[in-house]
Chains A and B, each alone.
Chain A
């Protein structure tokens, strides 16, 4: 899908329950906003929704929260996931995951707004 209007460029940060992957002419992919490519400054030539499946690159279980909204949820996990479409994203989980695990995202409100929550998926392959 080629993103041609503002709606097509909405991701979870603005109320759409998905990651949106952008690819530049050099093949770099990112899912952190529709601005210029973070690696080479080129514009995105395509933008498309991710299926939300990926592999855990890094995971930490937090025992210290940024503020009172988050502290009742401790401990909770923060993950860095390589989506199958190639982009790297961060997400939340109530439990920790092993590096290399397969996960799938859903989007739900944890404190104030919907955020990506990763769940273990044996069948996420």
Chain B
């Protein structure tokens, strides 16, 4: 059994003068405090990467910085899927007996600590060096290509994508620590400047500073609602858009199916969603491929309130990457923290489903959370 003892995020946004390590330590300490544990209780550590602190051994650097001496340590790099995949790695370590209580932590000062254009340049690594980069491509353009296909294939409108950004902003406006909280309308999104058509500025997540941490353990929490991870799955079918055979079957379903087989549950058991939303189109593609929204209907269903905090299927109640903010690996951890929080305070026993993608819908990682009766 793997228990999610605690999850914590710093505020996302501008943390002038704070280093990646300082932000990671802040989140790690918040998670320890939430779990009621001392650092000495941690015997396993999983770190991500930080574009502002590229290092061959970030996990070891952080362990030393924070005063940990883990018996098991990993650093992972799967782009946007890293945060969820780190939790899966921690779960595997616990289940195999290599560690008992694992700290999962990532964070960086991507907004205030990057050279001008540095974040774009670092992220361009995920484009093919021979077949994509020489064409003047950037990450938003790859997602914009998917968006142009989506709008034509599924007969959706740009306003439908905007509705997803509006929903994320509405949730962020109710979340302490969110990077962007000023309410938005579809018209605001539509009027924002074009980045790569059909995507506009407000279809794209911001660049933020921040950090997040989880503590997973073989031991159940001593107090409060008990939440455990009951299923995990991954799928990796391509890296580059130029080798992505089917825009409608990216691997998302394969990852979810593996997680649900392990959890012995179905989509109908899920009541809370944490779905990666680097762009509005990312959210539309994942919701629809996974079957949580009808084809071409994600935006309309969002506008109708289905994914509201008090809707049928609350989605990214913190505001997602689009509005809570995106500080790299930790950006994709906040969804898990938000679903964890929602489960702990839910008045029903429905499951939480968390799904992240890295690259261009390339790396998929999925987790299923359950509150113990």
User: Measuring CB to CB, which residues of chain A are less than 8 angstroms from any residue of chain B?
Assistant: 13, 28, 30, 32-33, 38-39, 57-67, 69-70, 73, 75-76, 78-80, 88-92, 96, 99-100, 110-113, 115-116
Contacts and interface: CB of A to CB of B under 8 A. Distances in A.
20 contacts: A13-B134, A32-B128, A32-B130, A57-B149, A58-B145, A58-B146, A60-B148, A62-B136, A65-B138, A66-B137, A73-B136, A78-B145, A78-B196, A79-B145, A80-B145, A88-B242, A88-B245, A90-B137, A99-B149, A100-B152
B131 A32 contact: yes
A37 to B, nearest CB: 10
A66 B120 CA distance: 7
Interface in B243-282: 243-245, 247
Contacts of B153: 99
A33 B242 CA distance: 11
A69 B247 CA distance: 30
Given A32-B128, A99-B152, A60 B134 contact: no
B313 interface: no
B174 interface: no
Interface string B141-157: 10011111100110000
B163 to A, nearest CB: 20
A90 B241 contact: yes
B238 interface: yes
Contacts of B241: 80, 90
A70 B194 contact: no
A64 B197 contact: no
Q: Which of B140, B148, B247 counts the most chain A CB atoms within 10 A?
A: B148
Nearest to B149: A58
Nearest to B198: A60
B56 interface: no
**10 nearest A-B residue pairs (beta carbon):** A60-B144, A99-B152, A58-B145, A38-B243, A58-B149, A70-B136, A61-B197, A13-B130, A60-B196, A63-B194
Nearest to A93: B135
Contacts of A57: 149, 247
B136 A33 contact: no
Contacts of A13: 130-131, 134
Interface string B264-306: 0000000000000000000000000000000000000000000
Contacts of B194: 61, 63, 75
Contacts of B243: 30, 32, 38, 88
A38 B135 contact: no
B55 interface: no
Q: Which of B120, B145, B147, B198 counts the most chain A CB atoms within 10 A?
A: B145
A58 B142 CA distance: 10
Interface in B111-148: 117, 120-121, 124, 128, 130-138, 140-141, 144-148
Contacts of A65: 136, 138
A73 B136 CA distance: 10
Contacts of A66: 120-121, 124, 133, 136-138
Contact of B140 (A28, A64, A89): A64
A89 B242 contact: yes
Contacts of B147: 60
Contacts of A63: 193-197
B193 A92 contact: no
A38 B153 CA distance: 24
A60 B145 contact: yes
Contact of B132 (A59, A62, A73, A90): A90
